[in-house]
Structure 1
Amino acid sequence: MGRIEYYHDPKAPKPNSLVVACNLLVTDDTGAILLQRRRDTGQWALPGGAMDFGETAGECAIRECREETGITAEITGFLGIYSNPNHIVAYTDGETRQQYENTYIGRPIDGEPTVNDEADGVAFVPSEELDQYDIHPSMRQQIRDFLSGNYPYLG
């Protein structure tokens, strides 16, 4: 399923859905951040996705990280709640979602970066190289908050 992201765009369609999504910002021993390149947008992002019935937000973040990157991680902290009504995601199936993400901080405990159906690139990226990557502004905000120590973000 394809998607188009609108960010502070007055031409964005009206949302018809609000779904809890959970991200996991994973850093390795060198401080590099785990990113995946999304097949649907081509942009690099933190691993994350929609919460399933029967799981906690933390379990969702861990599951999404493993599914999208091949890395099993454990949660070590909480980065924030990111709920920007000016960030709209329109899916090809007709769903138009307003952003709502709980983002956790974690560290890897097992696995190797692995591409899959959702990600055609997975890498631990040193912070000094982040500007070389096409990263959506909403993800950049989360990474910037982490790197600056400006968390938890409650917005």
Structure 2
Amino acid sequence: MGRTEYYHDPKAPKANTLIPASNLLVVNDEGAILLQRRRDTGQWALPGGAQDIGESPAQCAVRECEEETGIVAEVTGFLGVYSNPEHIIEYTDGEIRQQYEAVYIGRPVGGKPTVNEEADGVRWVHPDDLDKLDIHPSMHEQIGHYLTGAYPYLG
């Protein structure tokens, strides 16, 4: 399913859904951050996705991380809640979603970076190299809050 993201765009369509989702900002012992390159947008992002019934937001973040990157991680902290009415994601099936993400901080405990049907690239990125990648502004915001210690963010 394809998607188009709108970020502070007055031409964005009106949202018709709000789905709880979780991201996991995983940091290894060298201080590098785990990122995946999304197949649907081509941009680098934190692993994350929609929460399933029967799991907590933290469990969702851990599951999505392993599914999307091959890295098994554990939650070590909470970065914040990100729900910006000016960040709209339009899917090809007609769903138009307002961003809503609970973002956790984690550390790797197993696995290895692995591409899959959702991500055509998975890698550890040192903070000094983040500006070399095409990263969506909402992900830059989340990573920036982590790097500056401006959390928990309750936006």
Sort the TM-score into its range (normalised by shorter chain): over 0.9
What do residues 57-106 of structure 1 show as CA deviations (whole Å, max 9, x unaligned)? 00000000000000000000000000100000000000000000000000
Q: For residue 10 of structure 2, what is the amino acid of its counterpart?
A: P
Q: What does 1:1-155 align with in structure 2 at a 5 Å threshold?
A: 1-155=1-155
Q: In angstroms, what is the RMSD of aligned CA positions?
A: 0.3
Q: In structure 2, how many angstroms separate the alpha carbons of the residues matched to 1:154 and 1:57?
A: 15
Q: In structure 1, how many angstroms separate the alpha carbons of the residues matched to 2:113 and 2:133?
A: 17
TM-score (norm 2): 1.00
5+ residue gaps, structure 2: none
**Identity within the alignment, %:** 71
Deviation (angstroms), 1:28: 0.5
Deviation (angstroms), 1:37: 0.1
What do residues 120-139 of structure 1 show as CA deviations (whole Å, max 9, x unaligned)? 00000000000000000000
Deviation (angstroms), 1:153: 0.3
5+ residue gaps, structure 1: none
TM-score (norm 1): 1.00
Deviation (angstroms), 1:108: 0.2
